[in-house]
Homo-oligomer: A and B are copies of this chain.
Amino acid sequence: MTEQSILNWLRKQKNVEGIGDDCAVLNEWLVTTDMFIEDIHFLRSLPPETCGYRALARGLSDIAAMGGDPRWCLLSLALADWCGERWVRGFYRGLLKLAEKFAVKLVGGDLSHSNRVTADIVVIGFAPKGKALRRDGARVGDGIYVSGALGGRPVLPEPRIAFGKKLRGRASACMDLSDGLSLDLKRLCEASGVAAVIDLPLPVAPGATIEQALHAGEDYELLYTAPRKAGGTRIGTIVRGKPGRVEFFGRKLAAKGYDHFRSNRGD
């Protein structure tokens, strides 16, 4: 059972629509949900402000990946016994500080408890009707671009909202690099029914290796394809081929990025 096999099955069920992109597109409204779970996405030792920041950053990055403007968020938060009041306040403080930066209002949520801190962030934003970026539009001949340096795993990643908005009407496909370039580019190519060739130097973050630039998740940079450059760094080209196949300087690239339901879970 992989995330993909669940999604493939789910798509065939009744009353299911448009699943699999970073956000659901409801007319011009975008809604995204992202979980942030102790021991999976963060460790207890991380400062609470950083946890709150990162929980919201995940959702904002999904809105950025669709070229959207974030507006509201809701937070479902299950606290564990070890969470004191200071931790809870710190978590909200970190989240609200980032929210303020993007003029996003926290408008609701749910409070519960569990044996691991579990947050689920809902972000609501919008894009002009028909302008939301999707991952299924890459065309043979498009360039492949990333918005910034890869593999750095920043502690406080900056959601690429402005970059995403600039791509409206210019990018043929876009997504955020939450699970690593090798896996995310594969997904973009599968969704678009194309293959990809990476044949230009990757912008590697200071201190990171090429392996990390290729496979480390949580970059939160944007990956996009376009007939013409619209910002960032070109790394390759969309080509005809087996959907989802990615070549890296002449060799097939294994998708080692993060999948919650594969054997690398917990990496």
Query: B-facing mask of A79-105, CB < 8 A → 1, else 0?
Result: 100001100110011001001100011
CB A6 to nearest CB in B, in angstroms, measures 6
Give the number of times this chain occurs in the complex, counting copies.
Answer: 2
Q: How many residues of A contact B (CB 8 A)?
A: 63
Contact of A106 among B17, B26, B93, B124 (CB under 8 A): B17
Q: Please indicate the chain B residues that have their CB under 8 angstroms from the CB of A84 in the complex.
A: 1
Q: Write the residues of chain A forming the contact surface with B, with a CB cutoff of 8 angstroms.
A: 1, 3, 5-7, 9-10, 13-19, 21, 23-26, 31-35, 37, 39-41, 72, 74-76, 78-79, 84-85, 88-89, 92-93, 96, 99-100, 104-116, 118, 120, 122, 124, 260-261, 265
16 contacts between A and B (CB under 8 A): A9-B89, A15-B96, A16-B96, A17-B105, A17-B106, A18-B107, A18-B108, A19-B107, A19-B109, A31-B74, A31-B124, A33-B74, A33-B120, A110-B120, A113-B261, A114-B118
